[in-house]
Structure 1
Amino acid sequence: MSDSSRDTAEGAGWGAAERGDYQQLMPRKVEKISWLDPKMLWAARNGVLASWFGDPTGRTRGRWVAQRAAAGAPADKVIRRDDPDRFSFMVIGDTGEGDDPQYAVVPGFLKVGQDTDFAVLASDVIYPVGSADDYATKFFRPYQDYRAPIYAIPGNHDWYEDLGAFMRVFCDATPPLPPEPAPRPLTRAWLRSLLWHRPRPHDGEHLGTARKLRSAPAQQAAQPGPYWAIDAGPVRVIGIDTGLLGTVDAEQGAWLREVSQGPRPKILVTGSPLYVDGERHPCPIEGGGTVDDLVRDPAHHYVAAIGGDIHNYQRYPVQVDGRTLQYVVAGGGGAFMHATHTIPRIGVADVTEQDFRCYPLRGDSLAFYSRLYGRRLRLRRFFELSEAEATAVIAERLGIPPTRSPGEPARVTRRTRLVASLLGAGGRPDRTSRLRLPVRKIYTQLFSPSSATYSPPFFKCFLRLDVTPEAIRLRCYAATGNRAQEVEPPVEDEVVIPLT
């Protein structure tokens, strides 16, 4: 097994490493998404409009589900597979930017997943707005050599064109939804409809050609809708659609309560993680209750909840009524990296720093962002921290031993502390806390995507889950873009989840 980032700096992808072969998989012309481009921001405006003028996602989702039911989709939305009691599947989240970071994941994903039975894409299949024209290079091409079915749940970006392309690709929905009656003038819904982004005319004309890249019989799968359940071997995998604003509508909530019944062990896959960045986000259900209430209910027998949307890996083993539920963030499949160094010292739901796992490690995240800021602000000599300096200052600020400490630890200087504070590193407040640059909020939401790097290390990841009647073995694998991690993807985290 190759070194991981917890073993050596080289295992994290630092140093003079050889770039992998992933670029040979990429198309000749690659779109680089810039979220500072006003045209891009305008195209992706529906999330903001939904928060201002009311969220129509639940109503639109209900119409899609009704259309699929009329076409013969199972009423319970359960996909019943013939997997044996021992099988494996992959989970990868927030994939579809179509550039170097996404394609850098593909060789390791194919190598680790070559004998798995299916895969699940957890959130944001296509950036920036889920257009059908983008599926060729951002879904069909990168995963053309994965020889098993791929199921998906949509993320907020897939909803920016009312989910039309997602439904065509994953649910075989051919006719578009008929237009809704026009809202009454001068209402919030009327204002929203005036500004709402819709697909371009003739979007997806070449979708038939793109489908040929994944046309083998073993690769085919048709979902009953944007949310579903899969009965596979001894477990039920349940995927929910949290729409534009990270919530669940009443109709989907009623379905979720129904499919959560029974003694079968269950894994939830959601577009919005329930624990992330040291906080609990239970995900409200329209009409009352939360998704996490259902996950925690011992009668439902959930063992894990895996969420996308945040572009890194995190794991929180939460004790609930004498059981351990594994709450996982798995959004590192290809989009720009959300910082982990801004995560404070963990103390949520009795989960401590000793229990918590993340990838990239906080020190690597800080080193990555220090280089990024140094380059963008043209202050490299001031901002840039070595991985050893970043690891040392994170350990000091959080009051924990260095996660990776080969050789002599780096000295923490005034400059190192100042840079760490400016870049929002978690820890105790100090005199520079008020000077922090907007890493955790504005920067990761707006400037980070435009600052995405196109050379390793990328700090991407994906999951493999091996299921037996007794347990689930969950492993997080890294993809840095370097050849060493491409040939032998390192395991960054592993946990065995008992089912009995």
Structure 2
Amino acid sequence: MSNSSRDTAEGAGWGAVERGAYRRLMPHRTRKISWLDPRMLWAARNGLLASWFGDPTGRTRARWVAQRAAAGAPADKVIRRDDPERFSFLVLGDTGEGDEPQYAVVPGLLKEGRDTRFAIVASDVIYPVGSADDYGDKFFRPYRDYRAPIYAIPGNHDWYEDLGAFMRVFCGDAPPLPPEPAPRPLTRAWLRSLLWHRPRPDAGQHLDQARALRSDPAQQAVQPGPYWAIDAGPVRIVGIDTGLLGTVDAEQGAWLREVSKGPRPKILVTGSPLYVDGRYRPYPVEGGGTVDDIVRDPDHRYVAAIGGDIHNYQRYPVRLADGRTIQYVVAGGGGAFTHATHTIPRVDVAGVTERDFRCYPLRGDSLAFYSRLYGRRLRLRRFFTLTDAEATAVIAERLAVPPTRAPGAPVRVTRRMRLVAGLLGTGRRPDRARRFRLPVRRIYTQVFSPGSATYSPPFFKCFLRLDVGPEAVRLRCHAATGNRAQEVDPPVEDEVTIPLV
């Protein structure tokens, strides 16, 4: 197996290396997404409108679920498969930008996934607004050679056009919902409806042509709705839809509690991770309680919770008071722009410390990646750019942790390196975070990060392979850098064995 980023800088994708062959898979023309483009932000306005004028996601979701039930979907929303006791499946999140970073994941995914039984996309299948017109180049084309079914959980971007395209693709070509009655004038709902982004009437004209790219019978699957459960071998995989703002409606919450019962070990897949960036986000269920209350209930036997939305990999092994350990995983590195990991402060949450925490890209690689990006954007390359060794050294100093990658020649941390690390929002130890947090940190990570798509390796993308057996699940995070070496032999950036008994 090839070196990972934890072994060498070359394993991370740095240095003079051969670019991968993934570009042969891409269409001749690709439309690059820029989240600094005002037109793109205007098209994706529904999330902001929902936070201002009320979130209609729960009501719309209930209408989709009722439509699927009337069409004959199983009442319990459980997909019952005939997988053996030992099988494998893939998880990748936040995939669909349709550009080089997404396609760079595909060669390694096909290699490591050639014997898997199915794959799951955990959040944001299509950017920027989940349009049916984008499914051809952002879903069907990149995964046309994956020979097994693909299931999906919608992310907030899939909801920006009220989930219509997602339902057409994954839920049996579900017809559009009939229009709702107009809200009363001068109410919050009325204001929201005036500004709400909706799909064009002619959207998806070429969807049937796109479907032909994944038309093999072995690739087909029909979901009972935007949330579902899969009984596969010895485990039950439960997928929940957290909509635009990360909330679970009362109807879905009641279903989640019911489908979580029973002795079968369970894995949650969610559009919003429960632990991320050193913080705990249990996510509320309408009517009371949280998603994590259900996950932690010992009678439900959850062993892992995997979420998308954040575009990197993180893992938090949380040990509960009763002695069980639940693996909380962020798996959003499937293709969209990279969210920084160097902004994550020294981890100390729910008993998980730096010794237990894992992330990809490594914080030093993330800082080196962003230093080059900002140097290029601000035309200050000589000031901002840090080598991977310099970035690793300044991260180790600021967080008071040993270097994650075996160090080479000693690196002296200079005032410039410290200043660049501070400007780019590098995390610190929790006891110093408030004192030294710069006011630009939030701006840089939330505004510039979404504009951080880059089209030359390393991309720091990833996907998960889970090998299931009667006694345990082995979870591995494979890297995709865009370089040939990692295409031929996708390195394992993290691995954990999760007991089932």
Which TM-score bucket, shorter chain as reference? over 0.9
Partners of 1:82 and 1:233 within 8 A in 2: yes
Partners of 1:79 and 1:228 within 8 A in 2: yes
For 2:440, the aligned partner's letter is: L
Matched, 1:212 2:212: yes
Per-residue CA distance 1:24-83 (angstroms, 9 max, x = gap): 000000010011211111110000000000000000000000000000000000000000
Provide the C-alpha distance between the structure 2 equivalents of 1:425 and 1:155, rounded to a whole number of angstroms: 27
For residues 249-268 of structure 1, the aligned pairs below 5 Å read 249-268=249-268
Provide the C-alpha distance between the structure 1 equivalents of 2:311 and 2:438, rounded to a whole number of angstroms: 25
For 2:393, the aligned partner's letter is: A
Provide the C-alpha distance between the structure 2 equivalents of 1:225 and 1:193, rounded to a whole number of angstroms: 25
Q: In the alignment, what sits opposite 2:171?
A: 171
For 2:195, the aligned partner's letter is: L
Provide the C-alpha distance between the structure 2 equivalents of 1:152 and 1:283, rounded to a whole number of angstroms: 20
Q: In the alignment, what sits opposite 2:404?
A: 403
Q: In the alignment, what sits opposite 1:246?
A: 246
Provide the C-alpha distance between the structure 1 equivalents of 2:208 and 2:173, rounded to a whole number of angstroms: 13
Q: What 5-or-longer segments of structure 1 have no aligned partner?
A: none
For 2:362, the aligned partner's letter is: L
Q: Report the CA distance between 1:383 and its aligned residue.
A: 0.6
For 2:62, the aligned partner's letter is: G
For residues 73-152 of structure 1, the aligned pairs below 5 Å read 73-152=73-152
Q: Report the CA distance between 1:230 and its aligned residue.
A: 0.0
Per-residue CA distance 1:462-497 (angstroms, 9 max, x = gap): 000000000000000000000000110000000000
Partners of 1:477 and 1:489 within 8 A in 2: yes
Q: In the alignment, what sits opposite 1:476?
A: 477
Q: Report the CA distance between 1:433 and its aligned residue.
A: 3.6
Q: In the alignment, what sits opposite 2:300?
A: 300
Q: Which moved more, 1:109-118 or 1:424-433?
A: 424-433
Q: In the alignment, what sits opposite 2:161?
A: 161
TM-score by length of 2: 0.98
For residues 430-445 of structure 1, the aligned pairs below 5 Å read 433=436, 435=438, 437-438=440-441, 441-445=442-446
Provide the C-alpha distance between the structure 2 equivalents of 1:273 and 1:430, rounded to a whole number of angstroms: 23
Matched, 1:5 2:8: no
For residues 61-72 of structure 1, the aligned pairs below 5 Å read 61-72=61-72
Secondary structure, aligned partner of 1:238? strand
Q: Report the CA distance between 1:173 and its aligned residue.
A: 3.5
Provide the C-alpha distance between the structure 1 equivalents of 2:479 and 2:196, rounded to a whole number of angstroms: 38
Secondary structure, aligned partner of 1:160? helix
Partners of 2:62 and 2:251 within 8 A in 1: yes
For 1:201, the aligned partner's letter is: P
Partners of 1:123 and 1:309 within 8 A in 2: yes
Partners of 2:472 and 2:499 within 8 A in 1: yes
Matched, 1:356 2:357: yes
Q: Report the CA distance between 1:437 and its aligned residue.
A: 3.2
For 1:361, the aligned partner's letter is: L
Partners of 2:425 and 2:445 within 8 A in 1: no
Q: In the alignment, what sits opposite 2:290?
A: 290
Provide the C-alpha distance between the structure 1 equivalents of 2:158 and 2:448, rounded to a whole number of angstroms: 21
Partners of 1:421 and 1:432 within 8 A in 2: no
Provide the C-alpha distance between the structure 2 equivalents of 1:363 and 1:443, rounded to a whole number of angstroms: 17
Task: Report the CA distance shift for 1:221/1:238 in structure 2 as closer, same or farther (over 3 A).
Answer: same
Provide the C-alpha distance between the structure 2 equivalents of 1:275 and 1:449, rounded to a whole number of angstroms: 21
Partners of 1:311 and 1:335 within 8 A in 2: yes
Task: Report the CA distance shift for 1:436/1:389 in structure 2 as closer, same or farther (over 3 A).
Answer: farther
Per-residue CA distance 1:426-477 (angstroms, 9 max, x = gap): 1144999454533xx3333332232311000000000000000000000000
Partners of 1:68 and 1:173 within 8 A in 2: no
Provide the C-alpha distance between the structure 2 equivalents of 1:374 and 1:334, rounded to a whole number of angstroms: 23
Q: In the alignment, what sits opposite 1:228?
A: 228
For 1:354, the aligned partner's letter is: R
Q: Report the CA distance between 1:15 and its aligned residue.
A: 0.3
Q: In the alignment, what sits opposite 1:347?
A: 348
Secondary structure, aligned partner of 2:328? strand
For residues 329-340 of structure 1, the aligned pairs below 5 Å read 329-340=330-341
Task: Report the CA distance shift for 1:54/1:433 in structure 2 as closer, same or farther (over 3 A).
Answer: same
Matched, 1:322 2:323: yes
Provide the C-alpha distance between the structure 2 equivalents of 1:22 and 1:128, rounded to a whole number of angstroms: 22
Partners of 2:345 and 2:433 within 8 A in 1: no
Partners of 2:68 and 2:174 within 8 A in 1: no
Provide the C-alpha distance between the structure 2 equivalents of 1:292 and 1:431, rounded to a whole number of angstroms: 28
Q: In the alignment, what sits opposite 1:186?
A: 186
Q: Report the CA distance between 1:403 and its aligned residue.
A: 0.6
Secondary structure, aligned partner of 1:147? coil
CA RMSD of aligned residues (A): 1.2
Q: Provide the identity percentage.
A: 83
Secondary structure, aligned partner of 2:420? helix
Provide the C-alpha distance between the structure 1 equivalents of 2:342 and 2:120, rounded to a whole number of angstroms: 28
Partners of 1:421 and 1:436 within 8 A in 2: no
Matched, 1:377 2:378: yes
Provide the C-alpha distance between the structure 1 equivalents of 2:427 and 2:378, rounded to a whole number of angstroms: 22
Provide the C-alpha distance between the structure 2 equivalents of 1:430 and 1:212, rounded to a whole number of angstroms: 52
Q: In the alignment, what sits opposite 1:417?
A: 418
Q: Report the CA distance between 1:422 and its aligned residue.
A: 1.1
Per-residue CA distance 1:381-417 (angstroms, 9 max, x = gap): 1111000000011011111111112322311111111
Partners of 2:463 and 2:478 within 8 A in 1: yes
Secondary structure, aligned partner of 1:396? helix
For 1:188, the aligned partner's letter is: R
TM-score by length of 1: 0.98
Per-residue CA distance 1:203-231 (angstroms, 9 max, x = gap): 00100000000000000000000000000
Provide the C-alpha distance between the structure 2 equivalents of 1:449 and 1:484, rounded to a whole number of angstroms: 27
Per-residue CA distance 1:125-170 (angstroms, 9 max, x = gap): 0000000000000000000000000000000000000000000000
Provide the C-alpha distance between the structure 1 equivalents of 2:175 and 2:360, rounded to a whole number of angstroms: 41
Provide the C-alpha distance between the structure 1 equivalents of 2:74 and 2:411, rounded to a whole number of angstroms: 59
Task: Report the CA distance shift for 1:129/1:470 in structure 2 as closer, same or farther (over 3 A).
Answer: same
Partners of 2:93 and 2:334 within 8 A in 1: yes
Provide the C-alpha distance between the structure 2 equivalents of 1:26 and 1:68, rounded to a whole number of angstroms: 34
